[in-house]
């Protein structure tokens, strides 16, 4: 997913908004690192598309607020032997 950085940032943002996806799942889907996704969305996107940035920020903030719950569920599954 090389190429135009602005286009990539917009595609990432739209994917996250439409699927309520995490940074990790978006990185995996687009074949790039989590750091690149985060940098695209938090630093590059606001520079050229503020409204889209505000929408994706809501999803990312929601994910951040819920991550401790997801971690607990994953740990429970791990120790119960459920995959």
Quote the number of domains for the chain. 1
Q: Is residue 49 part of a domain?
A: yes
Q: Is residue 83 part of a domain?
A: no
Q: What is the pTM of this model?
A: 0.83
Structural domain including 14 reads 3-78
Q: Is residue 10 part of a domain?
A: yes
Give every CB contact of residue 5 below 8 A, 6+ residues apart in sequence. 40, 44
**∠ Cα 7 56 51 (to 5°):** 75
CA–CA separation, 29 vs 44, rounded Å?
Answer: 20
Q: Is residue 33 part of a domain?
A: yes
Q: Is the pLDDT of residue 58 over 70?
A: yes
Average pLDDT over residues 29-47: 95
CA–CA separation, 56 vs 68, rounded Å?
Answer: 20
Instruction: Tell me which residue has tokens 């908004």.
Output: 17
3 pLDDT band, cuts 50/70/90, is low
């Amino acid at each position: 997913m090389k190429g135009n950085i602005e286009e990539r940032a917009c595609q990432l943002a739209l994917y996250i908004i439409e699927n309520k996806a995490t940074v990790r799942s978006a990185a995996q889907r687009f074949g790039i690192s989590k750091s690149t996704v985060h940098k695209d969305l938090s630093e590059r996107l606001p520079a050229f598309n503020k409204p889209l940035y505000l929408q994706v920020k809501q999803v990312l903030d929601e994910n951040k607020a819920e991550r401790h719950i997801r971690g607990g569920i994953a740990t429970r599954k791990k120790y119960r032997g459920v995959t």
